[in-house]
Amino acid sequence: MLATLSDRREFDGGWILERKLDGVRALATREGGQVRLLSRGAKPFDAAFPELAEALAEQDCTDFTVDGEIVALRDGVTDFSRLQQRIGLTNARAARATGVSVTYFVFDLLRLDGRDTTRLPLLTRKSLLHDALSFRSPLRYTTHRKATRDTNPVLEEACAKGWEGLIAKRADSAYVHRRSPDWLKLKCGRGQEFVVGGFTEPAGSRVGFGALLLGYYDGDRLRYAGKVGTGWDTRTLRSLRAELDELEQDTSPFAGTVRERGAHWVRPEFVAEIGFTEWTRDGMLRHPRYLGRRTDKRARDVVREEPAGR
């Protein structure tokens, strides 16, 4: 179940608020002795996060499916760039060797003891979840609070703590396998995923590449949204260039003309998380910065996110 971006700030007592976490979404399922940790795109996460799989395997409850977010914390604040060191690893020993500690914040229950719980009200699911699992590090239960009529003070407090924002959820909502207006994202800043459709050559002392050319899907057409040239270190520049070279193609994947001299075009498969201040009137990103790679979202699912009406 996915949340809808919203600028709504007034809620009645039928809503709850949870912390918005900046990590990667993961479903965890256990049937008997077998535990599987999966990305949103159903890719296995077990090797990248072996300590989470082990913690789930040690639970007294042996039959469940839960939903949550894997994060790396620094001083209590999620650090997506730090988490990047673990994403994509397929060797458990290499994952542990990074020295990056991760936490799995669990916020929903989809199945328990062989029974589908998705049609139960959200608060009932959360209560069952709280009682079913033992939440010791690296597992955390995602707490919530009742929404107030004006959430602006609560959101301001969350932003002051360095949080990504809040998720407002309808307390009686069922769990549906799609984006839903029953879950709303209330963000502190602007940011979303974009598809990389090309890159430019580096200039001066820069290595790797100069900038990534970004887009989003509008139906079957990949719309150009501008380029990003900040947010990485030298190692990241080199490693991303190697990956992009493998995706290079002769023609532009973007709909319409993209005027970038000497651009290299790539198959639109690489998804990046980008922070920015706003959209310009001509549909370009203002002050974009690269935050990291997303392996939990398909390129075809990347669209321009606009706040839902109040």
| CA 305/CA 102 separation, integer angstroms | 28
3-state helix, strand, coil in the chain (%, to 5): 20, 40, 40
- Gap between the Cα atoms of 270 and 282, Å rounded: 24
3-state secondary structure of 122: helix
Beta-carbon-side half-sphere exposure of residue 133 (alpha carbons within 13 Å): 33
Element (H, E) at 276: strand 264-276
CA separation for the pair 14, 184 (Å, rounded): 13
In angstroms, the CA 163 to CA 144 distance is: 14
Q: How far apart are CA 217 and CA 195, in angstroms?
A: 8
Active site residue 20: yes
SS3 243: helix
Task: Give me the catalytic one of 20, 169, 187, 227.
Answer: 20
User: How many other CB atoms are there within 10 angstroms of residue 149's CB atom?
Assistant: 9
- DSSP string covering 36-83: EEEETTS-B-TTTSHHHHHHHHT-S--EEEEEEEEE-EETTEE-HHHH
- Our separate counts of H helices and E strands in the chain read 6, 21
Q: Which residues are catalytic?
A: 20
